[in-house]
Structure formats: structure tokens, C-alpha cells
Amino acid sequence: MKELNQEDWQEKLKNDDDAVILDVRTEEEVEEGYIPDSKNIDIYKGQGFINEVEKLDKSKHYYIYCRSGKRSSQACTLLDQMGFSETYNLLGGFSEWEGETAHN
């Protein structure tokens, strides 16, 4: 896991052909807005989260965020333990995000 601030996260993401943005917040939080092109898997689902993550391509690079950066840090650690090659945690999370956002 690498902890990245917004600027580094966006810069690295922009130049990464193997990037997958993973939002580990709840569905209610996602309804308030999200980073475009992100995939949502709620970390609070416990085993359900693990089951969903197991289906992902471990060779891709995962840019993970939550509301503040705490859950996404846990998610990065979990993915690292599961054999994923690269995980990046967004410091400050969505609550401090100043980049592009989308709504359903």
C-alpha cells in the first residue's frame, strides 16, 4: 500500500493503464457523490466484501478511497494480504476530494 495525497493520486491514476478506482463506502455515501468510473464494494459487508474483491484482477492497480481514508487504508491492507500487486490509499478520502465528482 502507498498513501497518496490527492495531487499524487490523480497524477498517478491519469498515467496508469492498469488503474481501477475502488470506492469502499456504503451505498448511502455513494449516493451523495463519487469519483467518476469508480467501482463500489462496501467494506462494511465483511465477508461479502472479501467475496467481491476475490473476483477482481489482482494484476491491476487499485486506487482505493472512502470518506476519510481510514476504511480505504484497511481495504488496501486486505488487498495486499490477498496478493494484489499494487494498492494506493487516498489520504483524506472523498470528504477532502477536490477533483471531479459524479452523482447517480
Active site residues: 66
| Cβ neighbours of 26 (radius 10 Å) | 16
Which amino acid does the sequence have at 89?
A: N
Distance (Å, rounded) from C-alpha 74 to C-alpha 89? Answer: 9
Which amino acid does the sequence have at 70?
A: K
| Cβ neighbours of 16 (radius 10 Å) | 14
Which amino acid does the sequence have at 83?
A: G
96 half-sphere exposure, CB direction, 13 A CA radius: 13
